[in-house]
Amino acid sequence: LAVIINICLVRLAYRCVLFLPDAVQSPDTQVGCVFGGSCVLPCHFQPNSDTILHWVRMKGNNDQVHSYYDELDQLGHQDPLYKGRTSLFHDQISGGNASLRLARVNLQDQGRYLCYASTSEYNQETFVTLIVRAAVSRVDIVLVNNTVTCKSGGIFPRPQLTWSVSPHPATVLQNTTEVHEDDQGLYDISGVLTTVYSDTESTYCCSVQNEDCARKARMRLHRKSLNIRMAAEVRSKE
């Protein structure tokens, strides 16, 4: 019974504070997290006794991501989507560090989070916006008959594919691009380009890029010797 009362009090306290006009507010912090990796959502509070921490996902029912009070993690009401993926830096809570470590980041984690910290002295709300990224990790290019196919996958946000050919052909080359979303919400992209016959050496360069990263694959083709050389290069964008 004692435990149940405790949880109810804490939940009540949290609800009330959400509507308190004088709660200390600061602008959202944006955090970019790599898909599949671990990420720290920063939160700092003024330490004092009776620390209560709630990390809440600001979406739908404002689900509980991680809670801490009575000097323990309190995960009885944790949203199952976050099960086994959250942790606090326990040894640093007494110093005012309420940052949350989130493991195995996926696309559903994107969005706004509330860090609510309450002590005997003061209540604080800070918001963190989590953005997920999956960089272009590799680009494959192959020649089959007279078409060049270029492929990449596991990318977020949505990528684009562009071709460049040198020497520059006299006409626009027939080419198509397809983008698919996989079951995790990441994008696969493939492009097919019909080559032109020529006696000169041609270079086909395929570039896949999104907001964060561009990666190129290049194929050099000499019709007479059927000599194919490939190269890849990466460029990160800031």
Ligand X SMILES: *[C@@H]1O[C@H](CO)[C@@H](O)[C@H](O)[C@H]1NC(C)=O
Residues that bind ligand X (CB under 6 A): 40, 42, 44, 89, 92, 97, 99, 144-145, 163, 165, 172-173, 175
Q: What are the phi and psi torsion angles at 49 (to 5°)? A: -80, 170
Least distance from C-beta 100 to ligand X, angstroms? 9
Q: Which residues, other chains included, contact 69 with Cβ-Cβ below 8 Å and sequence gap of 6+? A: 6, 10, 51, 52, 53
Q: How far apart are CA 215 and CA 116, in angstroms?
A: 40
Q: Which residue of the chain is nearest ligand X when measured via CB?
A: 173
Q: What are the phi and psi torsion angles at 175 (to 5°)? A: -150, 150
Least distance from C-beta 177 to ligand X, angstroms? 8
DSSP annotation of 158 reads: -
Q: How far apart are CA 94 and CA 119, in angstroms?
A: 11
Least distance from C-beta 11 to ligand X, angstroms? 25
Least distance from C-beta 65 to ligand X, angstroms? 16
Cβ proximity to ligand X, 13 vs 196, nearer residue: 196
Cβ proximity to ligand X, 59 vs 90, nearer residue: 90
Q: Where are the alpha helices (DSSP H) in the chain?
A: 2-18, 90-93
Cβ proximity to ligand X, 156 vs 204, nearer residue: 204
Q: How far apart are CA 218 and CA 128, in angstroms?
A: 40
Cβ proximity to ligand X, 164 vs 184, nearer residue: 164
Cβ proximity to ligand X, 99 vs 129, nearer residue: 99
